[in-house]
Amino acid sequence: MFDANHDGVIDFNEYLLAVAATSQGDLDDRLEVAFDICDTSDDGQIDRKELAVMISAAYDLRGETDRKGDNDPKKRADEIISRIDVGGDKKLNKYEFIAGCKNDPVLRRLLAPNT
């Protein structure tokens, strides 16, 4: 259920995403954890590829199987970045990510479903 890349193993990032997405607590703290998990390059920003991986994992957590058209993780990542990227660099810093998730009910439900 939490195996985002379907390799038969739940790796550390998949485990953390599952815990962050399903745990209770302050929304900002949960979104900060989600950002940190998603920022696999540790550069303080989330790019299209990193966000698409997170969206795929979130789909897996929710049992979403339709990943075509608007639900394609890469297309969804592009749309999210274009909408909430305040700096215009096609990446999301932590502030942009948290603010964007808090202001977008669909995105918040996808990445922090228990809010």
12-111 has which CATH code? 1.10.238.10
Predicted local distance difference test score (pLDDT) of residue 1: 46
* Residue 28 confidence (pLDDT): 86
What are the domain boundaries of the chain?
Answer: 12-111
- pLDDT tens digits along 85-96: 999 999 999 999
- Asked if 84 contacts 92 with a C-beta cutoff of 8 angstroms, the reply is yes
pLDDT at residue number 87: 93
Contact 90, 48 (CB under 8 A): yes
* Total-model pTM: 0.76
CA distance 18 to 38: 12
Per-residue pLDDT of 26-73, as tens digits, reads 888 888 877 887 888 889 999 999 999 888 877 877 778 889 988 899
Cα 22 to Cα 25: distance, rounded to the nearest angstrom? 10
